[in-house]
């Protein structure tokens, strides 16, 4: 899109420097373990600050070297602001304004409580009363290091732009020019203009080893393959962000090749992937191939050096339905841009409908990994949720009531979405569009179902010593995305009822977790925060010869499964769930990146930027 507003932040991102503030913090509905958290804002700016490190009154033996856990990006003036403090003896904290060393706030800490996923005893500091833009330091006697944080009106704009730009960095079939990619420029690879039909995907009109073209799209993750199931949820998540915060995205400039057109850059970026998705449909029957892949994962080489043959593999029901849902949603979004992309919206809708019809005629074709293929599977033996999602999106876009009937709302028990569980995505869309639906839509029930899920999440956080709505069971492969998907639920529900500030605050806490308020001390977004992943399991980041990681990518995060531990020469630092994170390239189970992990980061960072007023 044609504006030049955020170039400076992109320079910062392209240079792979820390784009966030110092340390930040968190927020949440209520301090979980104590009613004792209270604070008072200083009335004058002349009070002197205490030393940033140890208080003179505290003996060195009692000083904790553990860090204060805090959002490292910063806060908006009206964000709730929380930090997790090691359980030292102190019962109070203070906030120093760095501009003049004055004490801006003093407050009480909550009582110590143990956070089970990390077996840490901690206290919480609530410094939400700091509502003036600036740079601050949070100090607690007995904690060696103070924590820095910033407050600003545009707290999450750079993070959000970086998270979207990561999709550009993961584009297949194209050269990345220095003008857009800076030091991360690279030669084109995976043109995918000659892709073989794998034996598992053969049909009369497309026999085994016949050739199709299916270029573009985003690499799924740290590998160079593309999978429809995961592409679908990722693309929908970005579309949902656009549907929710279109005015915000209309003003975002990402410096991507299409930035000079008059289409929002987010939609330019999404279109790159939609074009690939369209090519993954067999025009002869409407079925959709599950993935486009090499037979095995490539080595850690740049795209241009991976010249292995590429295949489309097996048509599946899950792929057809993910495709149908995503393209139906995209059709209504791109209808706004008919002048720029003539016929695109209609093409998307036709493709969505034929894929859905194929799925209804082939309702139980599950992915089976062929013996000669070893890349990711995204296998799913239950596609009832995919049917609900696709039906919901087709209904919203076409207003044809029979699609609504297919949703079967009575059977939809919402849960936090992930690539294998997508029914709640349909609920999100129905709730977002409830004002435009036909008479058959049970809008009150839709809203209640969403509300109930959001309430469950808030309650989950209310007893957490870290003040976050996650527990030991949430630390699985890609946990950071699950954590942000919890926030996404809360933020969809909040937009439907803005009196529910507990939803917004619980979502803030979840973002805080991902960008620093967690036991690892990492902000899990490359290049954004004080301590960020350097060695992500991402082929271009590993092979480009440039130290550190390409910016804007969310690492998978702590994963109690530690499925990769035998592949890594370095051990995980702990067996505890929330500490099972290893910033090593070998750690595909905790330190890979993926498009479906970045997508909720885009949604949540935009939401907190826009909705925190």
Select which of 393, 474, 584, 592 is catalytic.
592
592 binds ligand 9MR (CB under 6 A): yes
**CA–CA separation, 220 and 233 (whole Å):** 12
Is residue 109 within 8 Å of 90, Cβ to Cβ? yes
Q: Which residues of 539-578 are buried (b: 16+ CB within 10 A; e: fewer)?
A: bbbbbbeeebbbbbbbbbbbbbebebbeebeeebebebbb
Per-residue binding letters, 497-536, with ligand 9MR (x by CB under 6 A): ----------------------------------------
Q: Of 431 and 554, which has the nearer Cβ to ligand 9MR? A: 554
Q: Of 233 and 355, which has the nearer Cβ to ligand 9MR? A: 233
**CA–CA separation, 82 and 85 (whole Å):** 10
- Give the count of alpha carbons within 13 A of 347, CB side only: 14
Please give the torsion angle defined by the CA atoms of residues 226, 230, 232 and 235, in that order, rounded to the nearest 10 degrees: -90
Per-residue binding letters, 202-221, with ligand 9MR (x by CB under 6 A): ------------------xx
421 binds ligand 9MR (CB under 6 A): no
**CA–CA separation, 553 and 376 (whole Å):** 20
Give the residue, chosen from 126, 137, 144, 223, that forms a contact with ligand 9MR under the rule CB under 6 A.
Answer: 223
Check if 592 is active-site: yes
Taking the complex as a whole, the smallest distance from the CB of residue 165 to ligand 9MR amounts, in Å, to 20
Taking the complex as a whole, the smallest distance from the CB of residue 485 to ligand 9MR amounts, in Å, to 12
The residue at minimum Cβ distance from ligand 9MR is: 376
474 binds ligand 9MR (CB under 6 A): no
Q: Is 606 helix (H, G, I), strand (E, B) or coil?
A: helix
Q: Kind of pairing, strands 211-212 and 195-197? A: antiparallel
Per-residue binding letters, 346-385, with ligand 9MR (x by CB under 6 A): ------------------------------xxx-------
Spatial CA neighbour of 595 closest among 378, 443, 424: 378
Select which of 583, 584, 585, 613 is catalytic.
583
Q: Of 477 and 581, which has the nearer Cβ to ligand 9MR? A: 477
**CA–CA separation, 465 and 553 (whole Å):** 28
Give the residue, chosen from 594, 599, 601, 608, that forms a contact with ligand 9MR under the rule CB under 6 A.
Answer: 594
Is residue 414 within 8 Å of 424, Cβ to Cβ? yes
**CA–CA separation, 290 and 312 (whole Å):** 7
Taking the complex as a whole, the smallest distance from the CB of residue 368 to ligand 9MR amounts, in Å, to 14
Give the residue, chosen from 22, 24, 467, 478, that forms a contact with ligand 9MR under the rule CB under 6 A.
Answer: 478
Q: 518: how many CB neighbours lie within 10 A of its CB? A: 30
Check if 306 is active-site: no
Is residue 547 within 8 Å of 603, Cβ to Cβ? no
Which positions lie near ligand 9MR, rule CB under 6 A? 220-221, 223, 376-378, 477-478, 588, 592, 594
**Residues acting as catalytic residues:** 583, 592
């Amino acid at each position: 899109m044609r504006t030049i507003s955020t170039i400076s932040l992109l320079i910062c991102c392209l240079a792979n420097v820390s784009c966030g503030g110092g340390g930040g913090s968190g927020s949440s509905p209520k301090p979980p373990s104590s009613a004792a958290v209270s604070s008072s804002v200083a009335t004058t700016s002349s009070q002197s600050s205490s030393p940033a490190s140890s208080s003179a009154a505290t003996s060195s033996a009692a000083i904790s070297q553990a860090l204060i856990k805090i959002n490292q990006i910063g806060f908006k003036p009206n964000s709730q602001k929380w930090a997790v403090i090691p359980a030292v003896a102190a019962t109070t904290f203070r906030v120093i304004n760095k501009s003049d060393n004055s004490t801006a706030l003093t407050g009480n800490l909550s009582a110590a409580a143990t956070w089970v996923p990390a077996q840490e005893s901690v206290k919480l500091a609530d410094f939400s009363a700091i509502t003036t833009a600036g740079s601050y330091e949070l100090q607690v006697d007995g904690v060696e290091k103070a924590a820095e944080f910033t407050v600003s009106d545009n707290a999450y704009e750079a993070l959000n732009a970086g998270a979207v730009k990561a999709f550009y960095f993961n584009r297949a079939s194209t050269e990345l020019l220095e003008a857009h990619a800076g030091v991360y420029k690279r030669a084109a690879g995976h043109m995918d203009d000659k892709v073989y039909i794998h034996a598992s995907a053969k049909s009369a009109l497309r026999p085994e080893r016949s050739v199709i073209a299916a270029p573009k799209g985003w690499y799924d993750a740290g590998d160079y393959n593309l999978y429809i199931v995961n592409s679908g949820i990722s693309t929908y998540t970005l579309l949902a962000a656009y549907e929710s915060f279109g005015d915000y995205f209309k003003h975002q400039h990402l410096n991507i090749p299409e930035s000079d057109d008059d289409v929002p850059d987010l939609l330019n970026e999404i279109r790159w992937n939609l074009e690939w998705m369209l090519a993954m449909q067999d025009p002869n029957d409407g079925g959709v191939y599950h993935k486009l892949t090499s037979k095995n994962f490539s080595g850690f080489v740049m795209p241009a050096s991976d010249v292995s043959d590429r295949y489309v593999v097996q048509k599946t029901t899950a792929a057809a339905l993910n495709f149908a849902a995503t393209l139906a949603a995209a059709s209504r979004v791109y209808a706004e841009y008919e002048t720029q992309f003539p016929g695109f919206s209609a093409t998307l809708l036709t493709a969505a409908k034929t894929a859905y019809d194929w799925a209804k005629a082939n309702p139980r074709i599950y992915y089976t990994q062929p013996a000669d293929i070893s890349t990711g599977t995204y296998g799913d033996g239950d596609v009832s949720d995919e049917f609900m999602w696709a039906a919901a999106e087709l209904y919203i876009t076409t207003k044809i009531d029979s699609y609504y009937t297919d949703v079967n709302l009575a059977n939809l028990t919402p849960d936090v979405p992930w690539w294998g569980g997508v029914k709640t995505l349909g609920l999100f869309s129905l709730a977002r569009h409830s004002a435009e639906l036909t008479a058959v839509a049970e809008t009150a029930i839709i809203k209640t179902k969403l509300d109930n899920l959001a309430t469950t999440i808030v309650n989950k956080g209310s007893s957490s010593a870290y003040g976050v709505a996650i527990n030991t069971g949430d630390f699985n492969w890609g946990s950071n995305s699950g954590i942000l998907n919890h926030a996404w639920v809360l933020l969809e529900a909040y937009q439907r009822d803005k009196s529910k500030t507990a939803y917004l605050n619980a979502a803030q806490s979840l973002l805080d977790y991902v960008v620093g308020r967690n036991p690892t001390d990492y902000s899990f977004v490359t290049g954004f925060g004080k301590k960020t992943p350097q060695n992500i399991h991402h082929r271009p980041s590993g092979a480009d010869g440039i130290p550190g990681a390409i910016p804007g990518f969310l690492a998978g995060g702590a994963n109690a499964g530690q499925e990769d531990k035998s592949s890594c020469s370095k051990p995980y630092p702990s067996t505890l769930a929330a500490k099972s994170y290893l910033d090593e390239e070998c750690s595909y189970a905790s330190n890979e990146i993926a498009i479906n992990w970045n997508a909720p980061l885009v949604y949540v960072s935009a939401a907190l930027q826009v909705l925190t007023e």
